[in-house]
Chain A
Amino acid sequence: MTPLINNAVSANALETSVMKLWQEFLARYFDGGKHDVGATPLVQFPLAELLFQQSAAGQPLAASGGLAITLVSSEVTRRKWVAWENYSSGLTSGLTSAATRQEICYEAVAWNFWVRANGTNGRALCKSGSDGLFGLLSNKGETHALGQKGICRLKVHAPRVIQETDYVLRLVSLGATLRYPILSQRYVDECGAGDLDPGAGDGGQSGLGAGS
């Protein structure tokens, strides 16, 4: 598993940061090559164009007989909860080592991945695309990279065949939890994490939901 380069999920750019992480993660695999996903031999992934929400510009479905995977947020009620946690943010300005308590927001979300293909080989292409996607999202070792950036607790459902004619369409649905720090809700203590009290100190406002 190679860590992702893009920034972690952020409250400042919730949708953008999430979509960038998905773009980076999926693009690593759906490039038409073989990848080590903990299986022997290496697993072949098809080349796919990755699309997000209504990114229709040049939506290719595949005039050229290609594969497209479109990620769409589902219209579910986004359940949220918060918790104070030790936060390993490293150094803070002027301090060599600071233990930080941070209020973290958890948010349950759902996405639909629409896998589409057409052309003479469309059915096989769509099948390999949706199978590859399902296998990848079920793979805890590979999706750990997403978890490190705040997209965690993935719960993927097996691909559903929507249509298998010249226009082949499958659906892979996914539930997940986003984890991101609530801005301004941070408590820094120079003494050490063991002494921290989230309810005390300047930054230690303990009110749940503030800033979320």
Chain B
Amino acid sequence: MIQSSRVTITSNIQGVLDRATRRSRDVRTALTRTLAVGEWDKLLRAEAKRTLWALAKQSEWGFVDAFVATVLTGPFMTGFFARMSNPLPPVLVVEEFAMAQDLQKRALSQGTGPTLFSDFLNQFDQMMTDWVANEKDKDRRDYDKSDEEIGSWIGYLMLTPDSKLNAKRSGKVNPVTGKPVLSELEAKHSLMKHIVDYIQRRQTEKRLGKDQINAWLLAVLAAWSVLVRREFPGRFRAQLNVVRTEL
């Protein structure tokens, strides 16, 4: 005869929760390992190189390594970032030189100052510094000045309208030549032909066009995007398997 009956209902929810927690931890660990920047860095550099080698003409192969050398990777939040930039300094052409002079003239007449085109002026100053460093016949007057100071002074002379420059000589004598020191205006006209010649020569050197530089940067970005999408799932699965087999 049955005296009593009893039903016991238990739940394994705690076990389920524990397992879910473990899985979640595994996923985080595997993700962190998958996105470690070290291996991706090698992969992305190699992909960039392959892509650029393929897009470059033979005469442009010399630029490829310079581009790849600018690849920069590093950790970013829970993942990583990668970037590649244009390693080539901008080159001013003769038309831009004339434009810089025109801008300077307008700024002086309107009193707006050089801030609107300061980047442009910086490029010009940089080019003057390059000319001083590479081509100027320096004498003892130049020894206590840096190339940047001389370049900046010549840049000022080149861009300032003639009417704003001092046309009178100081009366000092050049210690090297023994001749009177030129006025600002005379110095400008004396240097002008060398500067224009320098700009023209730089312009005709083998350079990459802006379109082409853009195309290269965008192409590498696209190749990286395809590569990461293709590689990530397999690498993540592999890391997850490793994590799950670890004690």
Contact = CB atoms under 8 A, between A and B. Distances in A.
B168 interface: no
A126 B157 CA distance: 48
B63 interface: no
A171 to B, nearest CB: 5
B222 interface: yes
Nearest to B214: A163
A157 B218 contact: no
Contact of A75 (B43, B54, B56, B58): B43
B176 interface: no
B57 interface: yes
Nearest to B46: A75
A76 interface: yes
B211 A116 contact: no
A99 B17 CA distance: 55
Interface string B214-238: 1100110011001100110011000
Interface in A25-54: 51, 53-54
Contacts of A54: 53-54
B101 interface: no
Contacts of B80: none
A59 B222 contact: no
B107 to A, nearest CB: 31
A61 B55 CA distance: 9
Interface in B114-147: none
Nearest to B61: A56
B61 A163 contact: no
Place the interface of chain B in its size category. 20 to 34
Interface string A48-91: 00010110110101000000001011111101000000000000
A171 B220 CA distance: 11
A169 B58 contact: no
A110 B86 CA distance: 27
B231 to A, nearest CB: 6
Place the interface of chain A in its size category. 20 to 34
Interface in A126-173: 157, 160, 162-163, 165-167, 169, 171, 173
Interface in B13-56: 43, 46-47, 50-51, 53-56
B219 A171 contact: yes
B54 A72 contact: yes
Contacts of B234: 77, 79
B231 A59 contact: no
B171 interface: no
B209 A72 contact: no
A77 B54 contact: no
Given A72-B50, A165-B211, A169-B218, A114 B55 contact: yes
A163 B223 contact: no
Contacts of A206: none
B203 interface: no
Nearest to B47: A75
A160 B231 contact: no
B51 A72 contact: yes
A74 B222 contact: no
Interface string B98-123: 00000000000000000000000000
Contacts of B223: 74, 112, 171
A173 B226 contact: yes
B211 A114 contact: no
21 contacts: A51-B54, A53-B53, A54-B53, A56-B53, A59-B56, A70-B54, A70-B55, A73-B50, A74-B223, A75-B46, A75-B227, A76-B227, A76-B230, A77-B231, A114-B55, A162-B215, A165-B211, A166-B211, A169-B219, A171-B226, A173-B226
